Amino acid sequence: MLGEQMGTTHWPKDPLFGEDMNVLASILRRWCGQNQRDFNGEESRAKARELVEWFEFGVRDPVELADLIEGRHWQVERL
């Protein structure tokens, strides 16, 4: 029973308010335009989920969020 619980992490999530949604949608629209993707497409939905996850994790800066979904991760090179 203990092993079953170890794989799940729960943390309190802040609610997404209208302004939060506007910021996230703006970042996603910009990403779609730069990458020539349909705002309602599957890849855009995946990026939207990623944005919400980063936001829920505590990242609130729009520039930082945009960098994260672009894969720039604070300009750290991948190993």
Query: Percent of the chain at pLDDT above 90?
Result: 61
Model confidence at 20: pLDDT above 60:
yes
Residues of the domain holding 30: 15-75
Residue 58 tokens, joined: 């505590």
Tell me the pLDDT of the chain averaged across its residues: 82
* pTM for the whole structure: 0.73
CA nearest neighbour of 41 among 55, 31, 56, 26: 31
52 exposure class (CB count in 10 Å sphere: 0-12, 13-18, 19+): middle
* Tens digits of residue pLDDT in 31-62: 999 999 999 999 999 999 999 999 988 899 99
Q: Is residue 57 part of a domain?
A: yes
Model confidence at 4: pLDDT above 60:
no
Q: What's the domain count of the chain?
A: 1
Residue 44 tokens, joined: 């855009």
Q: Is residue 67 part of a domain?
A: yes
